[in-house]
Every structure is written in structure tokens, then in C-alpha cells.
């Protein structure tokens, strides 16, 4: 009975996090479909409205970053386990796809699948000791694991070592996941499809018992354990899902750029960017990672284009100011800012 009460509390909380209300009337259900319709409209028309090669490239990077942030968000946002080592899973996806194709002739789609499976196995090895830690100790442990993996791949000649590994260029083929030409719309729609699947999977998890338990663990881990929720098991489920999504993003990115090296696959900067994208939009919300990745990548790439060539790293200054502003004035991200504006407007009326 106590476990059922804990699940009911978590169920009400996950509804609040999504911005959705209890299912009472048809208008509420229709309102819940609004964000999905906006997502399909905006992301479906993006490569049509913005047709320049640079814009297509930014759109692909937005989808890849949003995909990683959505995966991270289930662990860091909804479960409350802040990881700063997710570059490990991104690198596993990259190296599995690239090395599998170059050394063994593995099809890239099979490489994506194999990379996801390896990422899950690694997440289980990591989760067993790491989840004994809490708070910033857990975050530090994830950084340490990521840096160890970086050093291993940096000196591993079979996977290219510090020089990296180039993926051979083949004829345009969906099966080989390679497309030539300046326009990147093929890559974009595949990445957007992965993002849509990750969002749907996240939604399904949050509406299931697993999601209710994850929210309960985030709010009070000791209380969740006291009502019979197996905390370690559900933390591991969140980490495994997160690892799968980020590994798929890594494998796809490898096929997109056709080159991998330790810095671009396992660098700490990747883990930080994943976290910032989720935090910027609003952790613990369905659409926060998507919004955060869109704003973050648009600003980063625009600053790189217009300011990066000055030699004074002004693009990094803009990036740093953005992070400090969000951290200081709106810790709940852009979603929290929008909710605050909505609340103030409601009071004014």
C-alpha cells in the first residue's frame, strides 16, 4: 500500500513536470498534443525554410545535441543523477560504428545497434559502483570514468589513437548512411527521426510506473526506498536508456563527419555541452532539452561564424556569458522563464 502511495505521488509530479494536467476532459488531451504538433511543424519545415548548407549543418547538429540532451535528461533531470561523463557513451557509439565499418566492414546501421548494446553493458559496469555515491560525488565519479576512457582511446592504436580514424567515403546510400552534396537534408531528417523516437520513448517511460519511480527517487531517494522502490535498479534503468540514446547520437555523428578522434568523441567538453543544452532549456521537462539545444547550437555556430575568425575567441566569450546568465538568473532554464512570464501575465489579468 505504501508503494502504491509513493507511485501516486510520483505520478502527480511527473504530470506537473510535463506541464500536463490530469486526464479529465478532451480539451486537456488536445492541449497536450500541441507541443508535438509544433515540433513536427518546425522540425519538418526547417530544412525547407533554411536552405543554405551552413543552416542545414547547424540543423543537423541541433538534432544530434538535442538527442543527447533528451537521453541525459531522463537520468539527470527526471532521476536527479547529474552525470558529467556522458561523452563516454557518445564515444562508444562513435568508435563502434567507425571501427566496425573500417576494420570489419560492419554496416553502419548495425554499428549503431551494436554501439547501443555496448553502451548499455558499460553503463551497467559503471552504475554498480557509481550509484553508491550521491550528489557531487556521483558527478565527480562520472568525470573520472570519462577521462579514463579518453586516455585509453588516446593510446589505443587499433582504433586510431591520437591521430583518429577516417571512415571511407562511399556512394550515396541510405543503407550505408552516407550522402554527398552540399545540402544535408538527408542527414537532418534521419537525425530528427531519432530525436522524435527518443522523445516518444521518454514520454512512454514517464507515463509508466518506471517514470513515477524515477521522479520519486529524484525528489527523495530515502523516502522512495522506504516505500519499497528498488532505487538502484531504477537508477540503472535510467542510465541504460540514457546510454542507448547518446550512443546512437555518437554513431550517427561519426557517419556524418566521417572522422573520429578521442577529443571529438570523448572530450569533457562534449559532456559539458550535453548538460548545458538540457539545463539551458530546463531539466526535468520533456521539451527543455530540445529548446536548449536549439538555442545553444544556434548561438554557438552563429558566434563561431561571425566572431570566431577574429582570433580573439569572442565566440567562447558569448558562450560563457550565456551559461553564467542562465545559472545566475534562471536556474530552471528557458522553460522556467516561460512559466514565470505566463504566471506574471496571469496575475496581471
What the chain holds in terms of domains, given with CATH numbers, is 2-12+43-275 (1.10.3470)
Q: How confident is the model at residue 235 (pLDDT cuts 50, 70, 90)?
A: very high
pLDDT at residue 15 greater than cutoff 50: no
13-27, 71-85, 191-205, 233-247: the lowest-pLDDT one? 13-27
pLDDT at residue 215 greater than cutoff 60: yes
Q: How confident is the model at residue 126 (pLDDT cuts 50, 70, 90)?
A: very high
Q: How confident is the model at residue 20 (pLDDT cuts 50, 70, 90)?
A: very low
Give the CA dihedral 225, 228, 232, 235, nearest 10 degrees: -90
Phi, psi of 82 (to 5 degrees): -80, 110
> CA of 112: how far to CAs of 108, 138, 197, 265, 290, in Å?
6, 28, 15, 15, 22
pLDDT at residue 19 greater than cutoff 60: no
Of the candidates 285, 220, 297, the one whose C-alpha atom is nearest the C-alpha of residue 59 is 297
Q: How far apart are the first and last CA of the chain?
A: 43
18-32, 183-197, 218-232, 259-273: the lowest-pLDDT one? 18-32
pLDDT at residue 206 greater than cutoff 90: yes
State the average pLDDT for the chain: 86
- How far apart CA 238 and CA 241 sit, in angstroms, is 5
Q: How confident is the model at residue 51 (pLDDT cuts 50, 70, 90)?
A: confident
Cα 132 from chain centroid (whole Å): 24
pTM as predicted: 0.87
**How large is the average pLDDT for residues 215-222?**
94
Residue with cell 535498479: 233
pLDDT given for residue 167 in this prediction: 94
- How far apart CA 43 and CA 286 sit, in angstroms, is 16
5-19, 189-203, 237-251, 304-318: the lowest-pLDDT one? 5-19
- How far apart CA 291 and CA 128 sit, in angstroms, is 32
C-alpha cell at 11: 505520478
Amino acid at each position: 500500500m505504501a508503494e502504491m502511495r509513493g507511485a501516486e505521488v510520483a505520478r502527480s509530479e511527473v504530470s506537473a513536470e510535463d506541464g500536463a494536467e490530469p486526464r479529465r476532459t478532451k480539451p486537456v488531451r488536445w492541449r497536450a498534443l500541441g507541443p508535438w504538433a509544433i515540433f513536427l511543424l518546425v522540425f519538418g519545415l526547417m530544412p525547407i525554410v533554411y536552405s543554405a548548407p551552413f543552416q542545414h549543418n547547424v540543423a543537423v547538429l541541433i538534432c544530434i545535441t538535442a538527442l543527447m540532451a533528451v537521453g541525459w535528461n531522463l537520468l539527470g533531470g527526471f532521476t536527479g543523477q547529474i552525470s558529467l561523463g556522458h561523452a563516454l557513451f557518445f564515444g562508444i557509439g562513435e568508435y563502434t560504428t567507425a571501427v566496425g565499418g573500417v576494420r570489419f566492414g560492419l554496416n553502419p546501421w548495425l554499428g549503431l545497434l551494436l554501439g547501443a548494446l555496448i553502451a548499455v553493458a558499460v553503463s551497467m559496469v559503471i552504475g554498480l559502483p557509481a550509484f553508491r555515491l550521491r550528489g557531487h560525488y556521483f558527478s565527480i565519479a562520472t568525470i573520472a570514468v570519462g577521462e579514463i576512457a579518453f586516455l585509453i582511446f588516446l593510446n589505443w592504436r587499433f582504433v586510431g589513437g591520437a591521430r583518429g580514424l577516417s571512415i571511407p567515403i562511399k556512394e550515396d546510400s541510405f543503407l550505408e548512411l552516407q550522402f554527398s552534396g552540399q545540402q544535408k537534408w538527408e542527414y537532418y531528417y534521419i537525425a530528427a527521426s531519432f530525436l522524435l523516437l527518443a522523445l516518444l520513448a521518454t514520454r512512454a517511460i514517464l507515463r509508466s510506473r518506471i517514470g513515477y519511480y524515477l521522479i520519486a527517487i529524484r525528489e527523495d531517494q530515502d523516502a522512495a526506498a522506504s516505500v519499497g522502490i528498488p532505487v538502484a535498479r531504477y537508477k540503472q534503468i535510467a542510465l541504460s536508456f540514457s546510454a542507448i540514446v547518446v550512443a546512437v547520437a555518437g554513431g550517427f555523428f561519426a557517419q556524418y563527419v566521417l572522422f573520429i578522434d578521442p577529443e571529438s568523441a570523448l572530450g569533457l567538453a562534449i559532456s559539458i555541452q550535453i548538460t548545458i543544452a538540457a539545463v539551458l532549456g530546463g531539466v526535468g521537462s520533456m521539451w527543455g532539452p530540445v529548446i536548449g539545444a536549439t538555442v545553444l547550437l544556434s548561438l554557438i555556430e552563429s558566434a563561431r561564424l561571425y566572431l570566431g575568425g577574429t582570433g580573439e575567441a569572442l565566440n567562447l566569450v558569448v558562450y560563457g556569458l550565456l551559461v553564467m546568465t542562465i545559472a545566475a538568473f534562471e536556474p530552471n532554464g528557458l522553460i522556467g522563464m516561460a512559466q514565470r512570464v505566463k504566471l506574471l501575465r496571469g496575475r496581471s489579468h
